[in-house]
Amino acid sequence: MIILPAIDLYKGKVVRLTKGNFDDRVVYGDDPYSVAKSFKDAGCTHIHIVDLEGAQMGYPRHLDILSKIGRLGLFTEYGGGLRSRAAITDAIRAGAWRVMVGSILFNREDMAKELFQTFGFSLMPALDVSGNKVVISGWYQSTGMTPQACLAKLYSAGYRTFLVTSVESDGMLQGPDIEIYKPLVGDTTNIVAAGGVTTLDDIMKLKEIGVSGAVVGKAIYEKSLDLGEALQAAKD
């Protein structure tokens, strides 16, 4: 299993939110590049970057930081405000190896398939789950679909790797919602789990059910989880 430390960006700073609440924001650093380098120095090969300001405004706001971090050579995934083909293209050109998209997939019935035909596996659908329904547009709008139904629809469009975030668990440091992920894991799907990963035990539980990646954010910054130990546990 791959550990992806998270860097959430807002106004050029590294921050973390609780349950996506912009009013409940804690700043953890003024230099995202240095934070990313510290993750690489700890042994990370992947990094997860979320442009929170972009998600709020509907277009990416931190492509310059993405480009700078991209020079570290990490597998960099980036999301937030990628709601047009042009924005997706700009993020890839700026250095994203993989981009996370949510709202744009649901613009119309055939949009997910069209985007996959254009961008292929450079795209990773981001399924944000609240109340067992996938929500979009910064978690304000429900698609009315369960994560299982949504994944099945996107799988038929060609996608194989999915970011699944438990909204209720995000930033709470109370452990991930394992039950969300169990029915989604399969031999031909890769599930990247996000939301609430706090301890080595959380990582082992996710690994045990077959999750291919885990995003870890607040637990690293609050030092409730040692990144080096997490990387070792995921690898063993």
Catalytic residues: 8, 128
Distance CA 176, CA 187 (A): 22
- The amino acid at residue 65 is I
Q: Exposed e or buried b for every residue in 22-44, given b needs 16+ CB within 10 A?
A: eeebeebeeebeebbeebbeeeb
Tokens in use for 136?
């979009």
Tokens in use for 2?
């791959």
Q: What is the DSSP letter of 182?
A: G
Distance CA 115, CA 85 (A): 8
Distance CA 104, CA 44 (A): 30
What sign does the dihedral 56-60-66-68 (CA atoms) show? negative
Task: Give kind and range of the element (H or E) at residue 163.
Answer: strand 161-166
Q: List CB contacts of 69: < 8 A, sequence separation 6 or more.
A: 7, 32, 33, 36, 47, 49, 76, 95
Residue 141 CA: distances (Å) to CA of 98, 153, 164, 193: 24, 18, 16, 21
Question: How do 46-51 and 21-29 pair as beta strands?
Answer: unpaired
Contact 101, 123 (CB under 8 A): yes
